[in-house]
Amino acid sequence: MRTRQGMVLGLILLLCASSAVNGYSATTTTQAISRREFIRSALLSSGVVAGAFLIQPSVARADISTQLASTAALRNVKRASKQLDGMEAFATSVDYQGMKDAIRTAPLAEVRKNAFALVKGAGEEGPVLDGYKAFIASLEALDTTCNLALRGREIPSLQLVEKFDSTTLTLADFIKVAQASVEVPEVGESDAT
């Protein structure tokens, strides 16, 4: 709200300054100006002010929206982790079709999009990106194992369990790293003694 008030005040000051520069004074009434000249001057001044405010990048708003998107994405990735934990029965009973179908069911089906939103929020470099790559590679390996088994290829009996465990561990590691990158210290947190 303060920024809107500041913008209005700045606009009024700029209009007064513009009028003074053009030879018109808001304090004296001795000089007559036409309505057309006044409106043209006001529109030109307000256009300049509006353009200046619109051109300025609003870094604070971008940070807040990225923070909110990262928080929502982290929440969705945690939901996918809970779904993945519930899929252990498919791995232990060697149910390739059940595992494949569960991978393609939300929220696990959308985990790539949500995880990449966390990577973008963290700056697309560093441990979050490494965790993302490891998790996606293990999820794809799990999916490939299911697809190959359903096509008739002979898969060792423990391979599905190994791929499932690998996917679960890499997702848990990714969540830890992503959560650390999303957390923002609250104002005054360091001042508390």
How do the pLDDT tens digits run along the chain, 193 residues long?
455 655 665 656 555 555 545 555 455 454 667 888 878 777 777 766 665 555 554 444 445 566 667 888 899 999 999 999 999 999 999 999 999 999 999 888 999 999 988 888 887 778 889 999 999 999 999 999 999 999 999 999 899 999 999 999 999 999 999 888 877 545 555 444 4
- Backbone dihedral region for residue 153 (phi beyond 0: left; psi -120 to 50: alpha; all else: beta): beta
CA Rg value for the chain: 29
- 94-127 exposure pattern, b = at least 16 Cβ within 10 A, e = fewer: ebbeebbebbeeebbeebbebbebbbebbeeeee
d(CA 91, CA 116) in angstroms, rounded, equals 26
d(CA 131, CA 115) in angstroms, rounded, equals 10
d(CA 165, CA 142) in angstroms, rounded, equals 10
